[in-house]
Structure 1
């Protein structure tokens, strides 16, 4: 059985939603780098970075990075469900997953922890870093909507739709998309309402 390390309102929600879509059983461990305790201690034993989500496979192999986990599940556990069977469409879905990881997730890390990216870093500098990074993040989401929105399948969400729906919940991205890309924003809301996904996201964001 899989073991998934994560916590509420984190990126592990995308993995939980994917596993719900694929009807995959797993054991959940509540853990996060900002939550000291037994869960974090166990997480650090399998992922020294302490990042979530972290997924341990049935054979004990460790998978980290949301996009990598979703790609693996899409290729091995749920062909045609989480990733398209068509090679060209699958390539674009993988491209979109890596786009989110490289351009959106990375920016959110800077917004959350600006002090990690400058030295010395006073409060004024932190706010300047946050403000500039948030502008860039929102630009990345506009480009994502323009490039991937036409292929977005909210009625049958796969890995790309699930990761975009979760990661866009942070740092004001949803509000920005509602104003700047309303059609894509509506697609995200449709994903949240999918029967396989709704209960997972409602647990994370009641």
Structure 2
């Protein structure tokens, strides 16, 4: 059985959706660095960064980083469709997931915690606001680039929902990316909404982002 450390409304939605798609049994442990509980000290023992998602594999080894987890699950469960069986298509999916991790997820971390990236900014709200504004603008530009590189057909890697779709649908929820894409890349925004409507995705997203 897999053990997933995560939190509602967080990036752990990517891993949870993938686990649902492959049909693997898993145990969910709710914790996060911004709302530490007893389980957080347990998480720190296996992942000193305290990141979520962190996934403990059935054999006991530990995986972190959403893209790495998705790639691993796709390789271990080739019939799931998380990764294409076609090498060029699979390579593009890996490219896309690493693009999101390096250029989008990383920027969101700066927006959420600007004081970590600028000396003496803890008590300087003006500096933090400038960092957030510049980083958010760059993040939105990165999403525009991503939308141009990975057009939906109808999904981002072809005819079937895959790991890249899940990753893009989750990470684009933050820092105003969806609103920006709706205005500047409406076709890609429509693709994200189509991904969210997929039954496997919708069931998990309803847990993480319940609609009032």
Does TM, scored on the shorter chain, surpass 0.5?
yes
1:194 to 188, 198, 203: 198
Match of 2:22 in 1: 22
Give the deviation of 1:44 after TM superposition: 0.7
Q: TM-score, structure 2 length as denominator?
A: 0.94
Please give the per-residue CA displacement for 1:119-151, whole angstroms capped at 9, x wherever unaligned: 111100000000000000000000000001245
Q: Give the secondary-structure state (helix, strand or coil) at the position aligned to 2:94.
A: helix
Q: Is the 8 A contact 1:71 1:83 kept in 2?
A: yes
List gaps (5 residues or longer) in structure 1: none
Structure 1 residue ranges (4+ consecutive) displaced by more than 6 angstroms after TM superposition? none
Q: Give yes or no for the alignment of 1:165 onto 2:163.
A: no
Give the deviation of 1:38 after TM superposition: 1.0
Match of 1:185 in 2: 189
List gaps (5 residues or longer) in structure 2: none
Whole-Å Cα distance in 2 between the matches of residues 149 and 124 of structure 1? 38
Residues 25 and 141 (structure 1), Cα distance of their counterparts in 2 relative to 1, 3 Å cut: same
Residues 89 and 16 (structure 1), Cα distance of their counterparts in 2 relative to 1, 3 Å cut: same
Whole-Å Cα distance in 2 between the matches of residues 77 and 40 of structure 1? 29
Aligned residues: 206
Give the deviation of 1:199 after TM superposition: 1.1
Match of 1:95 in 2: 95
Over aligned residues, Cα RMSD in angstroms? 1.2
Q: Give yes or no for the alignment of 1:176 onto 2:180.
A: yes
Q: Is the 8 A contact 1:6 1:28 kept in 2?
A: yes
